[in-house]
Amino acid sequence: MRVQRIAVAAFIAILLLVVLAVMDRWNASMYAEKIAQIKIPPRAPASGSIATIADLPLPTEETLFGEQIPLGNWFIGQQYDREFYYNWNIASALLLWWQRSGIYFPMIEAELHKAGLPDDLKYLAVAESGLTNVKSSANANGFWQFIPQTAQRFGLRVDDLIDERLDPEKSTHAAIAYFQYMRTRLPSWPLVAAGYNMGEDNVATSMQWQHAESYWDLFVNDETMRYVFRIAAIKELMSHADRYGLYFDRLAPWRAPQVRHVTVHGPIASIADWAVEHGCLYKDIKVLNPWLVGRSIPDGTFEIALPATDNDRASIK
């Protein structure tokens, strides 16, 4: 009797499994039929939106330093497109550059305007450093990426305790002096930008033996061939981000902290101790005065920036 009950239970279990399997296949069949009846339109970007990089509306006209870029030339057009696509694809870096520009562009623009130089030269600093004090393997440093010899040539102090390449304002003055010097030797601003990358003597020599009259006629090393186009692409993407699906203006650019200056007569053995005496911390002094590269201040007279309010501190004390 017990064996019969086990057999009946096993039969019922098998029957249930069969029924469930049939129902599952029937449901799957019905689902597939309903899906097949749904009309799915092909993917297409909404009007004015950027769905993929292929949807980018590349500029057909572009100027740099007030000079028209001859994009109609097939080689020049391809050079520009390459830099445009590359820089669009690093949108996070572009966004950071745009946000930092809120701190530094007003000062750079004012100095360029005062010197009568093209406003577009500010994008050269973006191409060089992303508006940060970065040091290269060639020992170039600061926003404008001066090597020590060129920095000292244009009036910047560079030693173990002071590196004025890291002072945005002083290094901008030096960059402007360098631009002005190169413009006396080279006949256009695109050539000056090329000279900034490979040296003005190399540009002048290349123009002479190649019988070239403009930057657009030159054939030089790949880095310099790309350099001017990179500046142009960065300018377009930062100036008109919304055209290319980036919409940076949904965020606020960063602000410059408010500072007050005090005159300091060195030497001062410890910047940290001096900072505490003035109600700050070492971090405040180093962040607001990045040109102070040591832990002490040497002999001489210096203007030191201090946070104007507690909200302008780099520290949280």
What pLDDT was estimated at residue 132?
96
Distance CA 269, CA 296 (A): 5
What pLDDT was estimated at residue 11?
59
Spatial contact of 301 and 263, defined as CB atoms under 8 Å apart: yes
28: pLDDT strictly greater than 70: no
Classify residue 294 by its DSSP letter.
S
SS3 of 183-203: the string is: HHHCCCHHHHHHHHHHCHHHH
All residues at 6 or more sequence positions from 224 whose CB lies less than 8 Å from its CB, including other chains: 194, 197, 198
1: pLDDT strictly greater than 80: no
pLDDT 10s digits, 268-308: 999 999 999 999 999 999 999 999 999 999 999 999 999 99
Distance CA 132, CA 130 (A): 6
What pLDDT was estimated at residue 257?
95
pLDDT 10s digits, 58-88: 999 999 999 999 999 999 999 999 999 999 9
Domains of the chain, by residue range, sit at 73-250, 259-312
Q: Phi/psi zone of residue 19: left (φ > 0), alpha (ψ -120 to 50 degrees), beta? A: alpha
Burial (CB count within 10 angstroms: exposed 0-12, middle 13-18, buried 19+), residue 244: buried
What pLDDT was estimated at residue 317?
75
Spatial contact of 277 and 248, defined as CB atoms under 8 Å apart: no
pLDDT 10s digits, 190-245: 999 999 999 999 999 999 999 999 999 999 999 999 999 999 999 999 999 999 99
Nearest alpha-carbon partner for 162 in 172, 152, 153, 174 = 152
Percent of the chain at pLDDT above 90?
81
Q: Confidence class of residue 162 from pLDDT cuts 50, 70 and 90? A: very high
What pLDDT was estimated at residue 90?
95
Tell me how far the alpha carbon of residue 265 is from its chain's centroid: 37
Nearest alpha-carbon partner for 58 in 67, 69, 44 = 69
All residues at 6 or more sequence positions from 26 whose CB lies less than 8 Å from its CB, including other chains: none
Mean pLDDT of 110-134: 97
What pLDDT was estimated at residue 42?
38
Whether domain 73-250 has CATH 1.10.530.10: yes
Classify residue 141 by its DSSP letter.
B
Distance CA 252, CA 102 (A): 9
Residue pointed to by tokens 């201090």: 306
Distance CA 123, CA 129 (A): 10
Spatial contact of 203 and 196, defined as CB atoms under 8 Å apart: no
Distance CA 140, CA 196 (A): 12
